[in-house]
Structure 1
Protein backbone atom coordinates (compact mmCIF):
# COMPACT_ATOMS: atom_id res chain seq x y z
CA UNK A 1 0.00 0.00 0.00
CA UNK A 2 1.33 3.40 -1.01
CA UNK A 3 0.60 6.83 0.44
CA UNK A 4 -0.29 7.95 -3.08
CA UNK A 5 -3.10 5.40 -3.12
CA UNK A 6 -4.48 6.76 0.16
CA UNK A 7 -4.35 10.31 -1.21
CA UNK A 8 -6.13 9.27 -4.43
CA UNK A 9 -8.76 7.33 -2.51
CA UNK A 10 -9.47 10.26 -0.17
CA UNK A 11 -9.74 12.65 -3.11
CA UNK A 12 -12.26 10.45 -4.96
CA UNK A 13 -14.34 10.08 -1.79
CA UNK A 14 -14.23 13.82 -1.14
CA UNK A 15 -14.93 14.87 -4.73
CA UNK A 16 -17.56 12.19 -5.38
CA UNK A 17 -15.98 10.99 -8.59
CA UNK A 18 -12.82 10.05 -10.43
CA UNK A 19 -12.88 12.92 -12.92
CA UNK A 20 -13.05 15.73 -10.38
CA UNK A 21 -10.51 13.97 -8.17
CA UNK A 22 -8.07 13.68 -11.08
CA UNK A 23 -8.51 17.37 -11.90
CA UNK A 24 -7.79 18.37 -8.31
CA UNK A 25 -4.78 16.06 -8.13
CA UNK A 26 -3.50 17.24 -11.53
CA UNK A 27 -3.12 13.69 -12.84
CA UNK A 28 -4.84 11.65 -15.51
CA UNK A 29 -8.13 9.99 -14.58
CA UNK A 30 -6.73 6.66 -15.74
CA UNK A 31 -3.92 6.96 -13.16
CA UNK A 32 -6.44 7.56 -10.36
CA UNK A 33 -8.58 4.61 -11.48
CA UNK A 34 -5.56 2.31 -11.70
CA UNK A 35 -4.36 3.20 -8.17
CA UNK A 36 -7.83 2.70 -6.67
CA UNK A 37 -8.13 -0.72 -8.37
CA UNK A 38 -4.71 -1.70 -7.01
CA UNK A 39 -5.74 -0.57 -3.52
CA UNK A 40 -9.01 -2.53 -3.65
CA UNK A 41 -7.12 -5.61 -4.88
CA UNK A 42 -4.67 -5.37 -1.97
CA UNK A 43 -7.45 -4.88 0.59
CA UNK A 44 -9.62 -7.57 -0.96
CA UNK A 45 -12.81 -5.49 -0.84
CA UNK A 46 -14.41 -2.89 -3.13
CA UNK A 47 -14.16 0.61 -1.74
CA UNK A 48 -16.47 2.30 -4.22
CA UNK A 49 -19.77 1.38 -5.77
CA UNK A 50 -19.56 2.50 -9.41
CA UNK A 51 -22.49 3.24 -11.72
CA UNK A 52 -22.66 5.16 -14.97
CA UNK A 53 -23.94 8.21 -13.10
CA UNK A 54 -22.19 8.27 -9.74
CA UNK A 55 -19.49 6.86 -7.51
CA UNK A 56 -20.23 6.20 -3.86
CA UNK A 57 -18.43 4.60 -0.97
CA UNK A 58 -19.23 1.06 0.01
CA UNK A 59 -19.54 0.19 3.70
CA UNK A 60 -15.92 -1.00 3.62
CA UNK A 61 -14.98 2.25 1.93
CA UNK A 62 -16.60 4.32 4.66
CA UNK A 63 -14.69 2.41 7.31
CA UNK A 64 -11.42 2.73 5.43
CA UNK A 65 -11.91 6.45 4.72
CA UNK A 66 -11.71 7.37 8.40
CA UNK A 67 -8.42 5.48 8.76
CA UNK A 68 -7.00 6.91 5.55
CA UNK A 69 -7.77 10.48 6.57
CA UNK A 70 -6.21 9.87 9.96
CA UNK A 71 -3.04 8.52 8.33
CA UNK A 72 -2.87 11.43 5.87
CA UNK A 73 -3.46 13.89 8.71
CA UNK A 74 -0.61 12.38 10.71
CA UNK A 75 1.63 12.67 7.67
CA UNK A 76 0.75 16.34 7.22
CA UNK A 77 1.46 16.99 10.89
CA UNK A 78 4.80 15.22 10.63
CA UNK A 79 5.74 17.31 7.60
CA UNK A 80 4.80 20.51 9.42
CA UNK A 81 6.80 19.52 12.49
CA UNK A 82 9.85 18.69 10.39
CA UNK A 83 9.53 22.01 8.57
CA UNK A 84 9.42 23.79 11.94
CA UNK A 85 12.42 21.78 13.13
CA UNK A 86 14.38 22.75 10.02
CA UNK A 87 13.55 26.41 10.68
CA UNK A 88 14.73 26.04 14.29
CA UNK A 89 17.95 24.26 13.38
CA UNK A 90 19.03 27.08 11.09
CA UNK A 91 17.57 30.02 13.00
CA UNK A 92 18.87 32.96 14.96
CA UNK A 93 17.64 34.22 18.35
CA UNK A 94 18.41 37.56 19.98
CA UNK A 95 17.59 37.68 23.67
CA UNK A 96 17.47 40.79 25.83
CA UNK A 97 18.26 40.19 29.49
CA UNK A 98 18.45 42.57 32.43
CA UNK A 99 21.31 42.12 34.90
CA UNK A 100 18.72 40.89 37.41
CA UNK A 101 17.13 37.58 36.45
CA UNK A 102 16.39 36.34 39.95
CA UNK A 103 17.31 32.74 40.73
CA UNK A 104 16.96 31.79 37.06
CA UNK A 105 20.35 30.70 35.69
CA UNK A 106 20.30 32.12 32.15
CA UNK A 107 23.86 31.10 31.13
CA UNK A 108 23.19 27.48 32.08
CA UNK A 109 19.82 27.54 30.30
CA UNK A 110 21.39 28.90 27.11
CA UNK A 111 24.18 26.32 27.30
CA UNK A 112 21.56 23.56 27.42
CA UNK A 113 19.69 25.09 24.50
CA UNK A 114 22.92 25.25 22.48
CA UNK A 115 23.55 21.57 23.18
CA UNK A 116 20.04 20.76 21.96
CA UNK A 117 20.16 23.08 18.92
CA UNK A 118 23.84 23.64 18.08
CA UNK A 119 22.99 25.23 14.72
CA UNK A 120 21.01 28.12 16.22
CA UNK A 121 22.93 31.39 16.47
CA UNK A 122 22.34 33.05 19.85
CA UNK A 123 22.86 36.72 20.65
CA UNK A 124 22.50 38.06 24.19
CA UNK A 125 21.97 41.77 24.81
CA UNK A 126 22.08 43.19 28.32
CA UNK A 127 20.52 46.38 29.61
CA UNK A 128 17.94 47.93 31.87
CA UNK A 129 14.36 46.85 31.32
CA UNK A 130 13.33 50.18 29.76
CA UNK A 131 16.15 49.92 27.21
CA UNK A 132 15.32 46.33 26.32
CA UNK A 133 11.60 47.03 25.91
CA UNK A 134 12.54 49.76 23.44
CA UNK A 135 14.60 47.15 21.56
CA UNK A 136 11.59 44.86 21.63
CA UNK A 137 9.48 47.57 20.00
CA UNK A 138 11.90 47.95 17.11
CA UNK A 139 12.55 44.22 16.67
CA UNK A 140 16.11 44.46 17.95
CA UNK A 141 15.46 41.53 20.30
CA UNK A 142 13.04 38.61 20.01
CA UNK A 143 12.08 38.57 23.67
CA UNK A 144 13.27 39.90 27.01
CA UNK A 145 14.10 38.19 30.28
CA UNK A 146 13.64 40.61 33.16
CA UNK A 147 11.31 42.06 35.78
CA UNK A 148 7.62 42.30 34.90
CA UNK A 149 6.57 45.66 36.31
CA UNK A 150 2.93 46.37 37.14
CA UNK A 151 2.79 49.18 34.58
CA UNK A 152 3.95 46.97 31.70
CA UNK A 153 2.24 48.26 28.54
CA UNK A 154 -0.56 46.18 27.07
CA UNK A 155 1.35 45.73 23.79
CA UNK A 156 3.58 43.26 25.62
CA UNK A 157 2.78 39.73 26.71
CA UNK A 158 4.65 38.36 29.75
CA UNK A 159 5.16 34.88 31.22
CA UNK A 160 6.24 34.74 34.86
CA UNK A 161 9.04 32.24 35.51
CA UNK A 162 10.63 33.19 38.85
CA UNK A 163 10.16 35.33 41.94
CA UNK A 164 12.65 37.74 43.49
CA UNK A 165 12.85 39.83 46.65
CA UNK A 166 14.58 43.05 47.70
CA UNK A 167 17.30 43.17 50.35
CA UNK A 168 19.52 45.93 51.74
CA UNK A 169 23.25 45.84 50.99
CA UNK A 170 25.57 47.44 53.55
CA UNK A 171 29.32 48.08 53.68
CA UNK A 172 31.28 45.76 55.95
CA UNK A 173 31.51 47.42 59.36
CA UNK A 174 28.32 49.44 58.92
CA UNK A 175 26.51 49.93 62.24
CA UNK A 176 23.42 48.13 60.92
CA UNK A 177 25.45 45.10 59.83
CA UNK A 178 25.03 43.68 63.35
CA UNK A 179 21.26 43.47 62.83
CA UNK A 180 19.77 40.28 61.43
CA UNK A 181 16.90 42.29 59.95
CA UNK A 182 16.88 45.99 59.13
CA UNK A 183 13.80 48.14 59.46
CA UNK A 184 13.39 50.38 56.46
CA UNK A 185 12.93 53.43 58.70
CA UNK A 186 16.46 52.82 60.03
CA UNK A 187 17.79 53.85 56.61
CA UNK A 188 16.34 57.35 56.85
CA UNK A 189 19.68 59.13 57.23
CA UNK A 190 21.74 56.91 54.95
CA UNK A 191 23.29 57.84 51.63
CA UNK A 192 22.06 55.48 48.93
CA UNK A 193 23.67 54.03 45.83
CA UNK A 194 21.07 53.33 43.15
CA UNK A 195 20.27 53.24 39.47
CA UNK A 196 19.35 56.45 37.69
CA UNK A 197 15.93 58.08 37.96
CA UNK A 198 13.32 56.33 35.83
CA UNK A 199 14.70 52.85 36.46
CA UNK A 200 12.61 50.18 38.14
CA UNK A 201 14.96 49.88 41.11
CA UNK A 202 14.93 53.65 41.66
CA UNK A 203 11.12 53.61 41.71
CA UNK A 204 11.16 50.79 44.27
CA UNK A 205 13.53 52.79 46.50
CA UNK A 206 11.55 56.02 46.18
CA UNK A 207 8.21 54.33 46.88
CA UNK A 208 9.53 52.40 49.88
CA UNK A 209 11.14 55.52 51.39
CA UNK A 210 7.95 57.51 50.86
CA UNK A 211 5.94 54.78 52.62
CA UNK A 212 8.40 54.98 55.54
CA UNK A 213 7.99 58.76 55.76
CA UNK A 214 11.21 60.07 54.23
CA UNK A 215 12.88 60.87 50.93
CA UNK A 216 15.83 58.66 50.01
CA UNK A 217 19.08 60.58 49.55
CA UNK A 218 20.74 59.04 46.48
CA UNK A 219 24.34 60.19 46.58
CA UNK A 220 25.76 57.89 43.90
CA UNK A 221 24.00 56.89 40.68
CA UNK A 222 25.05 54.14 38.28
CA UNK A 223 23.62 52.33 35.26
CA UNK A 224 24.52 48.83 36.40
CA UNK A 225 23.18 46.77 39.33
CA UNK A 226 26.56 45.01 39.47
CA UNK A 227 28.37 48.31 40.05
CA UNK A 228 25.93 49.17 42.86
CA UNK A 229 27.32 46.27 44.83
CA UNK A 230 30.90 47.40 44.13
CA UNK A 231 30.19 50.97 45.23
CA UNK A 232 28.58 49.76 48.45
CA UNK A 233 31.61 47.52 49.05
CA UNK A 234 33.80 50.60 48.69
CA UNK A 235 31.85 52.25 51.52
CA UNK A 236 30.06 54.87 49.41
CA UNK A 237 26.60 54.15 50.76
CA UNK A 238 23.90 51.53 51.22
CA UNK A 239 21.64 50.12 48.53
CA UNK A 240 18.55 48.13 47.77
CA UNK A 241 19.16 45.22 45.43
CA UNK A 242 17.47 42.07 44.24
CA UNK A 243 18.70 39.22 46.40
CA UNK A 244 20.25 37.33 43.47
CA UNK A 245 22.32 40.39 42.51
CA UNK A 246 23.27 41.15 46.12
CA UNK A 247 24.51 37.62 46.83
CA UNK A 248 26.74 37.29 43.78
CA UNK A 249 30.51 37.08 44.10
CA UNK A 250 32.29 40.40 44.30
CA UNK A 251 33.39 43.01 46.78
CA UNK A 252 32.70 42.08 50.43
CA UNK A 253 29.34 43.45 51.55
CA UNK A 254 26.71 42.60 54.14
CA UNK A 255 23.27 41.51 52.92
CA UNK A 256 20.31 41.86 55.28
CA UNK A 257 16.59 41.25 55.04
CA UNK A 258 14.40 44.35 55.15
CA UNK A 259 11.29 44.90 57.27
CA UNK A 260 9.03 45.71 55.63
CA UNK A 261 10.58 44.41 52.44
CA UNK A 262 9.64 46.35 49.30
CA UNK A 263 8.05 44.15 46.68
CA UNK A 264 10.12 43.16 43.67
CA UNK A 265 8.45 42.47 40.33
CA UNK A 266 8.48 38.81 39.28
CA UNK A 267 11.03 37.76 36.69
CA UNK A 268 9.59 36.70 33.38
CA UNK A 269 9.80 36.43 29.61
CA UNK A 270 8.34 39.37 27.72
CA UNK A 271 7.57 39.56 24.01
CA UNK A 272 5.68 41.97 21.76
CA UNK A 273 2.14 40.88 20.97
CA UNK A 274 2.35 42.21 17.41
CA UNK A 275 5.69 40.60 16.53
CA UNK A 276 5.53 36.94 15.54
CA UNK A 277 8.35 34.90 17.02
CA UNK A 278 10.43 32.86 14.58
CA UNK A 279 10.49 29.09 14.99
CA UNK A 280 13.93 29.32 16.62
CA UNK A 281 12.80 32.06 19.02
CA UNK A 282 9.68 30.07 19.94
CA UNK A 283 11.83 27.02 20.63
CA UNK A 284 14.24 29.04 22.80
CA UNK A 285 11.44 30.71 24.75
CA UNK A 286 9.75 27.35 25.30
CA UNK A 287 13.05 25.85 26.45
CA UNK A 288 13.52 28.59 29.07
CA UNK A 289 9.95 28.13 30.34
CA UNK A 290 10.45 24.38 30.50
CA UNK A 291 13.58 24.74 32.65
CA UNK A 292 11.97 27.35 34.89
CA UNK A 293 8.91 25.19 35.60
CA UNK A 294 10.72 21.85 35.90
Structure 2
Protein backbone atom coordinates (compact mmCIF):
# COMPACT_ATOMS: atom_id res chain seq x y z
CA UNK A 1 0.00 0.00 0.00
CA UNK A 2 1.28 3.44 -0.95
CA UNK A 3 1.33 6.20 1.65
CA UNK A 4 0.57 9.45 -0.18
CA UNK A 5 -0.69 11.52 2.72
CA UNK A 6 2.51 13.22 3.84
CA UNK A 7 5.64 14.73 2.35
CA UNK A 8 8.85 16.18 3.74
CA UNK A 9 9.26 19.91 3.11
CA UNK A 10 12.35 21.56 4.60
CA UNK A 11 12.54 18.90 7.32
CA UNK A 12 8.89 19.30 8.31
CA UNK A 13 6.13 16.75 7.87
CA UNK A 14 3.36 18.45 5.89
CA UNK A 15 0.06 16.94 4.79
CA UNK A 16 -0.64 16.96 1.08
CA UNK A 17 -4.16 18.05 1.96
CA UNK A 18 -2.74 21.26 3.40
CA UNK A 19 -0.86 21.95 0.18
CA UNK A 20 -3.97 21.15 -1.85
CA UNK A 21 -5.99 23.67 0.17
CA UNK A 22 -3.18 26.25 -0.06
CA UNK A 23 -3.00 25.83 -3.84
CA UNK A 24 -6.80 26.16 -4.11
CA UNK A 25 -6.88 29.39 -2.09
CA UNK A 26 -4.29 30.93 -4.40
CA UNK A 27 -5.91 29.63 -7.61
CA UNK A 28 -9.38 30.84 -6.65
CA UNK A 29 -8.32 34.08 -4.99
CA UNK A 30 -9.82 33.50 -1.57
CA UNK A 31 -10.93 31.04 1.11
CA UNK A 32 -14.63 31.03 0.27
CA UNK A 33 -14.21 30.26 -3.43
CA UNK A 34 -11.53 27.68 -2.63
CA UNK A 35 -13.92 25.96 -0.20
CA UNK A 36 -16.62 25.90 -2.87
CA UNK A 37 -14.24 24.38 -5.41
CA UNK A 38 -13.03 21.79 -2.90
CA UNK A 39 -16.58 21.14 -1.67
CA UNK A 40 -15.66 21.58 1.96
CA UNK A 41 -16.62 24.09 4.63
CA UNK A 42 -14.73 27.39 4.58
CA UNK A 43 -13.52 27.05 8.21
CA UNK A 44 -11.86 23.75 7.25
CA UNK A 45 -9.81 25.52 4.58
CA UNK A 46 -8.80 28.28 7.00
CA UNK A 47 -7.80 25.72 9.63
CA UNK A 48 -5.59 23.78 7.21
CA UNK A 49 -3.81 26.95 6.08
CA UNK A 50 -3.20 27.97 9.69
CA UNK A 51 -1.76 24.52 10.43
CA UNK A 52 0.49 24.73 7.37
CA UNK A 53 1.80 28.14 8.40
CA UNK A 54 2.34 26.93 11.97
CA UNK A 55 4.23 23.83 10.88
CA UNK A 56 6.46 25.81 8.50
CA UNK A 57 6.70 28.73 10.94
CA UNK A 58 6.13 31.32 8.19
CA UNK A 59 3.26 33.50 7.01
CA UNK A 60 2.17 32.34 3.57
CA UNK A 61 -0.78 34.65 2.90
CA UNK A 62 -1.68 38.23 3.70
CA UNK A 63 -5.38 38.37 4.45
CA UNK A 64 -7.41 41.50 3.68
CA UNK A 65 -11.13 42.15 3.67
CA UNK A 66 -11.35 41.55 -0.09
CA UNK A 67 -8.56 39.21 -1.14
CA UNK A 68 -5.53 37.22 -0.12
CA UNK A 69 -1.99 37.83 -1.34
CA UNK A 70 1.07 35.61 -1.30
CA UNK A 71 4.00 36.63 0.87
CA UNK A 72 7.55 36.09 -0.39
CA UNK A 73 7.66 32.87 1.60
CA UNK A 74 4.28 31.94 0.16
CA UNK A 75 5.64 32.28 -3.38
CA UNK A 76 8.45 29.85 -2.58
CA UNK A 77 6.19 27.33 -0.86
CA UNK A 78 3.58 27.53 -3.64
CA UNK A 79 6.12 26.71 -6.34
CA UNK A 80 7.40 23.70 -4.37
CA UNK A 81 3.88 22.64 -3.40
CA UNK A 82 2.65 22.61 -6.98
CA UNK A 83 5.58 20.48 -8.08
CA UNK A 84 4.77 18.04 -5.28
CA UNK A 85 1.08 17.97 -6.14
CA UNK A 86 1.99 17.32 -9.78
CA UNK A 87 4.22 14.45 -8.66
CA UNK A 88 1.33 13.05 -6.63
CA UNK A 89 -0.96 13.29 -9.66
CA UNK A 90 1.68 11.66 -11.85
CA UNK A 91 2.07 8.80 -9.37
CA UNK A 92 -1.68 8.28 -9.26
CA UNK A 93 -1.67 8.31 -13.05
CA UNK A 94 1.10 5.72 -13.24
CA UNK A 95 -0.73 3.47 -10.80
CA UNK A 96 -4.05 3.93 -12.59
CA UNK A 97 -2.42 3.21 -15.93
CA UNK A 98 -0.91 0.04 -14.54
CA UNK A 99 -4.37 -0.94 -13.35
CA UNK A 100 -5.87 -0.29 -16.79
CA UNK A 101 -7.33 3.20 -16.24
CA UNK A 102 -5.89 6.66 -16.83
CA UNK A 103 -6.37 9.39 -14.26
CA UNK A 104 -4.81 12.74 -13.51
CA UNK A 105 -5.03 16.28 -14.82
CA UNK A 106 -4.13 17.97 -18.10
CA UNK A 107 -3.67 21.75 -18.15
CA UNK A 108 -3.79 23.01 -21.72
CA UNK A 109 -3.20 26.52 -23.05
CA UNK A 110 -4.17 27.66 -26.55
CA UNK A 111 -4.15 30.77 -28.70
CA UNK A 112 -7.55 32.14 -29.71
CA UNK A 113 -7.27 31.18 -33.38
CA UNK A 114 -6.66 27.45 -33.67
CA UNK A 115 -7.45 27.43 -37.37
CA UNK A 116 -8.63 24.21 -38.96
CA UNK A 117 -7.89 22.26 -35.79
CA UNK A 118 -11.11 21.20 -34.01
CA UNK A 119 -9.85 21.66 -30.47
CA UNK A 120 -13.28 21.34 -28.87
CA UNK A 121 -13.96 18.09 -30.69
CA UNK A 122 -10.52 16.73 -29.81
CA UNK A 123 -10.93 17.50 -26.10
CA UNK A 124 -14.46 16.05 -26.07
CA UNK A 125 -13.19 12.83 -27.66
CA UNK A 126 -10.27 12.65 -25.22
CA UNK A 127 -12.66 13.15 -22.29
CA UNK A 128 -14.97 10.42 -23.62
CA UNK A 129 -12.03 8.01 -23.86
CA UNK A 130 -10.46 8.99 -20.52
CA UNK A 131 -13.36 10.21 -18.32
CA UNK A 132 -11.24 10.12 -15.14
CA UNK A 133 -8.78 12.70 -16.49
CA UNK A 134 -9.52 16.29 -15.46
CA UNK A 135 -9.11 18.72 -18.37
CA UNK A 136 -8.35 22.44 -17.91
CA UNK A 137 -8.08 24.97 -20.74
CA UNK A 138 -6.90 28.57 -20.75
CA UNK A 139 -6.56 30.97 -23.67
CA UNK A 140 -3.82 33.51 -24.29
CA UNK A 141 -1.31 34.87 -26.80
CA UNK A 142 1.71 32.79 -27.75
CA UNK A 143 4.15 34.68 -25.52
CA UNK A 144 1.89 34.28 -22.50
CA UNK A 145 1.58 30.54 -23.14
CA UNK A 146 5.38 30.17 -23.10
CA UNK A 147 5.40 32.01 -19.77
CA UNK A 148 2.65 29.72 -18.48
CA UNK A 149 4.73 26.68 -19.43
CA UNK A 150 7.78 28.09 -17.64
CA UNK A 151 5.71 28.91 -14.54
CA UNK A 152 4.17 25.40 -14.52
CA UNK A 153 0.66 26.79 -14.96
CA UNK A 154 0.04 24.55 -17.98
CA UNK A 155 1.42 21.23 -19.23
CA UNK A 156 0.84 21.67 -22.97
CA UNK A 157 0.27 24.65 -25.25
CA UNK A 158 -1.09 25.10 -28.75
CA UNK A 159 0.66 28.14 -30.18
CA UNK A 160 2.77 29.64 -32.97
CA UNK A 161 6.19 28.28 -33.89
CA UNK A 162 8.32 31.38 -34.53
CA UNK A 163 12.06 31.13 -35.09
CA UNK A 164 12.53 32.93 -31.77
CA UNK A 165 10.88 30.16 -29.74
CA UNK A 166 13.29 29.24 -26.89
CA UNK A 167 15.24 26.00 -27.25
CA UNK A 168 13.82 24.77 -23.92
CA UNK A 169 10.40 24.48 -25.60
CA UNK A 170 9.70 21.23 -27.42
CA UNK A 171 7.52 21.82 -30.44
CA UNK A 172 5.69 19.58 -32.93
CA UNK A 173 3.64 21.01 -35.83
CA UNK A 174 -0.15 20.69 -35.73
CA UNK A 175 -1.31 22.77 -38.71
CA UNK A 176 -0.57 25.88 -40.76
CA UNK A 177 -2.98 28.80 -40.89
CA UNK A 178 -2.66 31.45 -43.60
CA UNK A 179 -2.69 35.05 -42.44
CA UNK A 180 -4.87 37.21 -44.67
CA UNK A 181 -5.65 40.90 -44.98
CA UNK A 182 -9.19 41.75 -43.90
CA UNK A 183 -11.14 44.81 -45.03
CA UNK A 184 -14.73 45.99 -44.83
CA UNK A 185 -16.95 44.95 -47.77
CA UNK A 186 -17.21 48.64 -48.72
CA UNK A 187 -13.44 49.22 -48.69
CA UNK A 188 -11.82 50.55 -51.87
CA UNK A 189 -9.85 47.27 -52.23
CA UNK A 190 -12.79 44.96 -51.52
CA UNK A 191 -12.95 43.68 -55.11
CA UNK A 192 -9.37 42.44 -55.16
CA UNK A 193 -8.52 38.83 -54.37
CA UNK A 194 -4.97 39.57 -53.30
CA UNK A 195 -3.45 42.80 -52.05
CA UNK A 196 0.16 43.92 -51.55
CA UNK A 197 0.87 45.39 -48.14
CA UNK A 198 2.17 48.55 -49.83
CA UNK A 199 -1.43 49.31 -50.86
CA UNK A 200 -2.31 49.67 -47.14
CA UNK A 201 0.56 52.00 -46.22
CA UNK A 202 -1.80 54.84 -45.23
CA UNK A 203 -4.56 52.68 -43.72
CA UNK A 204 -5.31 52.41 -39.99
CA UNK A 205 -4.81 48.86 -38.68
CA UNK A 206 -6.56 46.94 -35.94
CA UNK A 207 -4.41 44.32 -34.24
CA UNK A 208 -3.54 42.51 -31.05
CA UNK A 209 -1.31 44.39 -28.53
CA UNK A 210 2.30 45.22 -29.32
CA UNK A 211 3.71 42.25 -27.35
CA UNK A 212 1.70 39.67 -29.33
CA UNK A 213 3.06 37.35 -31.99
CA UNK A 214 0.50 38.56 -34.54
CA UNK A 215 1.60 42.15 -34.02
CA UNK A 216 5.25 41.20 -34.52
CA UNK A 217 4.33 39.47 -37.79
CA UNK A 218 2.42 42.56 -38.95
CA UNK A 219 5.31 44.87 -38.01
CA UNK A 220 7.88 42.67 -39.76
CA UNK A 221 5.78 42.25 -42.92
CA UNK A 222 5.11 45.98 -43.16
CA UNK A 223 8.77 46.79 -42.51
CA UNK A 224 9.69 44.51 -45.41
CA UNK A 225 7.19 46.49 -47.52
CA UNK A 226 8.88 49.74 -46.52
CA UNK A 227 6.63 51.24 -43.89
CA UNK A 228 5.55 51.00 -40.25
CA UNK A 229 1.86 50.22 -39.70
CA UNK A 230 -0.30 52.73 -37.85
CA UNK A 231 -2.34 50.78 -35.27
CA UNK A 232 -4.90 53.00 -33.53
CA UNK A 233 -7.12 50.03 -32.64
CA UNK A 234 -5.71 47.42 -30.25
CA UNK A 235 -7.69 44.56 -28.73
CA UNK A 236 -6.89 41.28 -27.01
CA UNK A 237 -9.78 39.64 -28.91
CA UNK A 238 -9.36 38.63 -32.56
CA UNK A 239 -13.14 38.53 -32.87
CA UNK A 240 -13.36 42.16 -31.78
CA UNK A 241 -10.65 43.11 -34.28
CA UNK A 242 -12.75 41.49 -37.00
CA UNK A 243 -15.78 43.48 -35.82
CA UNK A 244 -13.84 46.76 -35.97
CA UNK A 245 -12.78 46.01 -39.53
CA UNK A 246 -16.32 45.07 -40.52
CA UNK A 247 -17.51 48.51 -39.41
CA UNK A 248 -14.89 50.14 -41.64
CA UNK A 249 -12.68 51.50 -38.87
CA UNK A 250 -9.50 49.93 -40.21
CA UNK A 251 -7.91 46.90 -41.84
CA UNK A 252 -6.29 43.90 -40.20
CA UNK A 253 -4.01 40.93 -40.66
CA UNK A 254 -5.80 37.88 -39.25
CA UNK A 255 -5.77 34.10 -39.49
CA UNK A 256 -7.98 32.96 -42.36
CA UNK A 257 -9.93 30.80 -39.93
CA UNK A 258 -10.87 33.94 -37.97
CA UNK A 259 -11.60 36.03 -41.06
CA UNK A 260 -13.97 33.41 -42.50
CA UNK A 261 -15.72 32.59 -39.21
CA UNK A 262 -19.43 33.46 -38.78
CA UNK A 263 -20.06 37.11 -37.94
CA UNK A 264 -20.41 40.51 -39.57
CA UNK A 265 -19.29 40.50 -43.21
CA UNK A 266 -15.67 41.21 -44.09
CA UNK A 267 -13.63 40.74 -47.23
CA UNK A 268 -10.47 38.64 -47.14
CA UNK A 269 -7.42 39.10 -49.34
CA UNK A 270 -4.32 36.98 -49.68
CA UNK A 271 -1.11 38.91 -49.18
CA UNK A 272 0.76 39.36 -52.45
CA UNK A 273 3.15 38.56 -53.89
CA UNK A 274 3.86 35.92 -51.21
CA UNK A 275 1.15 34.66 -48.83
CA UNK A 276 1.97 34.72 -45.10
CA UNK A 277 1.69 31.29 -43.47
CA UNK A 278 1.82 30.83 -39.71
CA UNK A 279 2.70 27.33 -38.44
CA UNK A 280 0.98 26.30 -35.21
CA UNK A 281 2.27 23.50 -33.00
CA UNK A 282 1.97 21.63 -29.74
CA UNK A 283 4.46 22.84 -27.13
CA UNK A 284 5.82 21.65 -23.80
CA UNK A 285 8.99 22.02 -21.74
CA UNK A 286 11.81 19.67 -22.74
CA UNK A 287 13.21 19.39 -19.20
CA UNK A 288 9.90 18.66 -17.45
CA UNK A 289 8.59 15.14 -18.06
CA UNK A 290 4.89 14.97 -18.80
CA UNK A 291 2.66 13.07 -16.39
CA UNK A 292 0.87 10.09 -17.97
CA UNK A 293 -2.40 11.96 -18.54
CA UNK A 294 -0.65 14.90 -20.24
CA UNK A 295 1.54 12.54 -22.28
CA UNK A 296 -1.54 10.68 -23.51
CA UNK A 297 -3.25 13.97 -24.35
CA UNK A 298 -0.21 15.11 -26.32
CA UNK A 299 -0.27 11.96 -28.47
CA UNK A 300 -4.04 12.21 -28.87
CA UNK A 301 -3.94 15.83 -30.08
CA UNK A 302 -1.12 15.11 -32.51
CA UNK A 303 -3.16 12.26 -34.01
CA UNK A 304 -6.42 14.24 -34.19
CA UNK A 305 -7.57 14.59 -37.84
CA UNK A 306 -7.41 17.86 -39.75
CA UNK A 307 -9.69 18.76 -42.67
CA UNK A 308 -8.92 16.38 -45.49
CA UNK A 309 -7.90 13.49 -43.21
CA UNK A 310 -10.04 10.41 -43.72
CA UNK A 311 -9.54 8.68 -40.39
CA UNK A 312 -9.58 9.64 -36.73
CA UNK A 313 -6.88 9.10 -34.13
CA UNK A 314 -5.96 5.46 -33.83
CA UNK A 315 -5.19 5.41 -30.13
TM-score by length of 2: 0.65
- Equivalent residue number for residue 149 of structure 2: 136
* 1:291 and 2:304 aligned: yes
Cα 1:103/1:124, change in 2 over 3 Å: same
- Equivalent residue number for residue 84 of structure 1: 97
Runs of 4+ in 1 over 6 A off after TM superposition: none
CA-based RMSD: 2.0
Cα 1:88/1:157, change in 2 over 3 Å: farther
Counterpart CA distance in 2 for 1:266 and 1:88 is 34
* 1:230 and 2:230 aligned: no
Counterpart CA distance in 2 for 1:247 and 1:86 is 46
1:145 partner SS = strand
Counterpart CA distance in 1 for 2:202 and 2:284 is 40
In the alignment, structure 2 segments of 5+ residues that lack a partner are 1-92
Cα 1:279/1:191, change in 2 over 3 Å: same
- Equivalent residue number for residue 264 of structure 1: 277
The alpha carbon displacement at 1:247 in A equals 1.2
Higher relative contact order (CA 8 A, sep 6+): 1
Count of matched residue positions in the alignment of Structure 1 and Structure 2:
215
- Equivalent residue number for residue 126 of structure 1: 139
- Equivalent residue number for residue 220 of structure 1: 233
Cα 1:87/1:173, change in 2 over 3 Å: farther
Counterpart CA distance in 2 for 1:220 and 1:86 is 55
Deviations 1:214-253 (Å, cap 9, x if unpaired)? 1111110111222211111122100001111111112211
Deviations 1:155-184 (Å, cap 9, x if unpaired)? 110001111111011012111001121122
* 1:103 and 2:116 aligned: yes
Larger-gyration structure (1/2): 1
- Equivalent residue number for residue 202 of structure 1: 215
Deviations 1:117-150 (Å, cap 9, x if unpaired)? 1111111100111111111001100110111111
* 1:282 and 2:301 aligned: no
The alpha carbon displacement at 1:263 in A equals 3.1
Cα 1:278/1:209, change in 2 over 3 Å: same
Counterpart CA distance in 2 for 1:86 and 1:106 is 29
Structure 2 counterparts to residues 148-163 of structure 1, below 5 A: 148-163=161-176
Is 2:107–2:137's contact at 8 Å kept on the other side of the alignment? yes
Higher helix share: 1
Cα 1:139/1:258, change in 2 over 3 Å: same
TM-score by length of 1: 0.69
Is 1:184–1:260's contact at 8 Å kept on the other side of the alignment? no
- Equivalent residue number for residue 171 of structure 1: 184
